[in-house]
Amino acid sequence: MEDSEIIRLFFDRDENAIEQTRQKYGAKCDVIAYGILRNKQDAEEAVSDAYYTLWNNIPPDRPVVFCAYLYKTVRNLALLRYNAEKTDKRRVNSEASVISELDECMSPDFVDDQYEERELTELLNRFLKTLNEADRGIFVCRYFANMEYKEISEKYGFSQSRVKMSLHRSREKLKKILSEEGYYHEQQ
Q: Quick check: is 171 in a domain?
A: yes
- 30-58 tens-digit pLDDT: 999 998 888 999 999 999 999 999 999 99
Q: How many domains does the chain have?
A: 2
Examine the domain organization and report whether 22 and 78 are in the same domain: yes
Identify the pLDDT of residue 145. 81
pLDDT at residue 108 is higher than 70:
no
Three-state SS annotation for the chain: CCHHHHHHHHHCCCCHHHHHHHHHHHHHHHHHHHHHHCCHHHHHHHHHHHHHHHHHHCCCCCCCCHHHHHHHHHHHHHHHHHHHCHHHCCCCCCHHHHHHHHHHHCCCCCCCCHHHHHHHHHHHHHHHHHCCHHHHHHHHHHHCCCCCHHHHHHHHCCCHHHHHHHHHHHHHHHHHHHHHCCCCCCCC
Is residue 8 situated within a structural domain? Answer: yes
Nearest to residue 171, comparing CAs of 78, 73, 101? 101
Instruction: Give 94 or 27, the one with higher predicted confidence.
Output: 27
- pLDDT of res. 85: 73
Question: What is the per-residue pLDDT for 112?
Answer: 47
* Residue 146 and residue 102 share a domain: yes
Same domain, residue pair 22 and 73: yes
Asked if residue 103 and residue 84 are part of one domain, the reply reads no
pLDDT of residue 90: 44
CATH number at residue 7: 1.10.1740.10
112 and 43 housed in the same domain? no
Percent of the chain topping pLDDT 90: 56
> What CATH number is attached to the domain comprising 132?
1.20.140.160
pLDDT > 80? residue 187: no
Same-domain pairing of 36 and 106:
no
Task: Over range 113-132, report the average pLDDT.
Answer: 78
Q: Does residue 185 fall inside a structural domain? A: no
The predicted model gives 163-186 an average pLDDT of 84
Mean pLDDT of the chain: 84
173 with 109, same domain: the answer is yes
What is the per-residue pLDDT for 110?
A: 47
pLDDT value for 185:
58
- Residue 53: which domain range? 3-88
Shared-domain flag, residues 45 and 79: yes
Residue 122 lies inside a defined structural domain of this protein = yes
Q: What is the pLDDT of residues 167-176, one digit of tens each?
A: 999 999 998 8
